[in-house]
Amino acid sequence: MIATANVAFQHVPLPRAPLRPSKRCRNARHERIKAYLDEIRKTQQRTMNIDVAEGERLYHLVRELDAKRVLEIGTSNGYSTIWMAMGLEETGGKIISVEFDEGRHKLAVENFIKLGLDALADLRFADALKEVPRIDGPFDLVFIDAWKEDYAAYFDLVFPKVRSGGAIAAHDTTSYAKEMAAFLERVKSTPELKTEFLSLGPNGMSISFKK
């Protein structure tokens, strides 16, 4: 149990991951999941979700990295988390995702349970600046989509935990470039990283591959 001020933070215990389904069953299942994702984009407002094309890029990135361990900072309602979980269903991995807002955290848990993906995710209601230092690496992929002024601090926490060949992805690199200036400087100037900037949605995304 983690306590900050008068709010108690806790992560949701989840069951062991099931055996991976066959490709045919998985494809049909993913189509149903994508339909659900379309629905929650329309019905779950004020959750600041990534664009569909960005979700698809994260899904493929998980597969490209053959990711087994993924960390997300900023779950929101689980929209981006679900995209990555679909990839992890194919690689046999799991995701840890941290969210500070209790309402959005509960919504994410509900969405994962409805989709039957809850065994693939450890959804934590916590302050990422306090929770991430408690989480051991290494990670294949880290995705950051949280409080913009703290991106540099998140980077400093996760960079040592990302394996060589892994990646750090971040959202809102265009729309909040001023607030994220320190983070953007880090991903551009760190010698161990090769960073690409994508315009798959209006807010922008970066992917930094660790050499």
What residues contact 35, with CB distance under 8 A and at least 6 apart? none
| Better pLDDT: 1 or 95 | 95
* Among the listed residues 10, 12, 7, the one whose alpha carbon sits nearest the alpha carbon of residue 123: 12
| Better pLDDT: 15 or 42 | 42
Q: Is residue 100 part of a domain?
A: yes
Q: Is residue 32 part of a domain?
A: no
What residues contact 29, with CB distance under 8 A and at least 6 apart? 21
- pLDDT (tens digit per residue) in 89-142: 999 999 999 999 999 999 999 999 999 999 999 999 999 999 999 999 999 999
Predicted local confidence at residue 45, as pLDDT: 75
pLDDT(197) > 80: yes
User: Residue 112 sits in which domain range?
Assistant: 50-210
Q: Which residues pair with 73 in a beta bridge?
A: 98, 144
Predicted local confidence at residue 176, as pLDDT: 97
Beta strand extents in the chain (DSSP E only) = 2-4, 7-11, 69-73, 94-99, 121-125, 139-144, 162-171, 193-198, 205-210
Look up the pTM and report it: 0.87
- Specify the long-range contacts of residues 46-49, CB closer than 8 Å, at least 24 apart: 47/76, 47/77, 47/79, 47/104, 47/107, 48/76, 48/145, 49/76, 49/77, 49/79, 49/80
Whole-angstrom Cα distance, residue 121 to residue 98? 11
Question: Edge-to-edge strands of the sheet including 205-210?
Answer: 2-4, 7-11, 121-125, 94-99, 69-73, 139-144, 162-171, 205-210, 193-198
Q: Is residue 140 part of a domain?
A: yes
Average pLDDT over residues 72-95: 97
Q: Is residue 31 part of a domain?
A: no
Q: Is residue 176 part of a domain?
A: yes
Predicted local confidence at residue 15, as pLDDT: 44
Tally the domains of the chain: 1
- 58 near 84, Cβ under 8 Å? yes
Q: Is residue 11 part of a domain?
A: no
CATH of the domain at 97: 3.40.50.150
Output the average pLDDT for the chain. Answer: 90
Q: Is residue 102 part of a domain?
A: yes
Q: Is residue 43 part of a domain?
A: no
Predicted local confidence at residue 2, as pLDDT: 35
Predicted local confidence at residue 46, as pLDDT: 76
